[in-house]
């Protein structure tokens, strides 16, 4: 049941990312066409493209976390006492704590914006809707980090996608006496 739910969320993240990227490219192409061919502008296009881009970036970060492709600096993990697995576990714990703070701050921001609403300039959308992606994506990242660590623990793999292809595990094993 949990696997089906996480797989559905994973597909949902991918669909949201793909649709937002398609919307972003379409809106910007329309803006260019209207501006340079029809010599008029679309009043809403800049604002919508900015909001779509924000959602794209945050949901893509969650998707990258799910796939284990989120940016990491792995240069020194093989020298960490206990090996790379513990270094990555500690790094992920720090990442989870950071995400918890961002989720809490995001929820406080949204509750404040619901109490004292502000609206977007062109579309008059409540900005709380736009900022909802901040705690949502960071909460999803927490789930994805825990999910990847759990799968790495159960299957004996790594939390980093393609680590075996990069040779990080082989290098870490060859450093042992």
3-state secondary structure of 38: coil
Instruction: Measure the CA–CA gap between 161 and 69, rounded to whole angstroms.
Output: 6
| φ and ψ of 119, to 5 deg | -125, 150
Specify the pTM: 0.81
User: What is the predicted pLDDT for the residue at 8?
Assistant: 81
Instruction: Measure the CA–CA gap between 59 and 32, rounded to whole angstroms.
Output: 26
Q: For 81-116, how does the pLDDT look when each residue is reduced to its tens digit (9 = 90+)?
A: 777 778 888 888 999 999 999 999 999 999 999 999
Burial class, 62, CB count within 10 angstroms (exposed 0-12 / middle 13-18 / buried 19+)? buried
Positive or negative: CA dihedral 27, 70, 7, 108: negative
Which residue in this structure is represented by tokens 């999803």?
Answer: 140
Instruction: Measure the CA–CA gap between 62 and 17, rounded to whole angstroms.
Output: 10
Burial code (b: 16+ CB inside 10 Å, e: under 16) for 140-153 equals: bbbbbbebbbeebe
Token digits of residue 169: 């595990």
User: What is the predicted pLDDT for the residue at 167?
Assistant: 44
Residues (pLDDT < 50) of the chain are 164-177
Q: How many Cβ atoms are within 10 Å of 11's Cβ, its own excluded?
A: 10
């Amino acid at each position: 049941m949990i696997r089906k739910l996480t797989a559905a969320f994973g597909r949902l993240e991918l669909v949201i990312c793909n649709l937002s990227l398609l919307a972003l490219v379409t809106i910007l192409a329309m803006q260019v066409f209207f501006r340079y061919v029809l010599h008029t502008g679309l009043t809403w296009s800049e604002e919508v493209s900015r909001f779509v881009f924000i959602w794209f970036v945050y949901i893509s970060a969650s998707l990258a976390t799910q796939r284990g492709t989120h940016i990491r600096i792995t240069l020194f993990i093989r020298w960490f006492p206990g090996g790379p697995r513990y270094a990555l576990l500690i790094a992920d714990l720090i990442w989870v704590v950071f995400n918890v703070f961002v989720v809490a701050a995001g929820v406080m921001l949204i509750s404040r914006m619901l109490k004292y609403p502000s609206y977007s300039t062109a579309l008059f959308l409540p900005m709380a809707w736009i900022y909802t992606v901040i705690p949502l994506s960071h909460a999803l990242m927490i789930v994805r980090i825990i999910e990847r660590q759990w799968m790495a623990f159960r299957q004996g793999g790594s939390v980093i996608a393609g680590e075996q292809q990069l040779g990080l595990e082989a290098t870490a094993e060859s450093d042992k006496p």
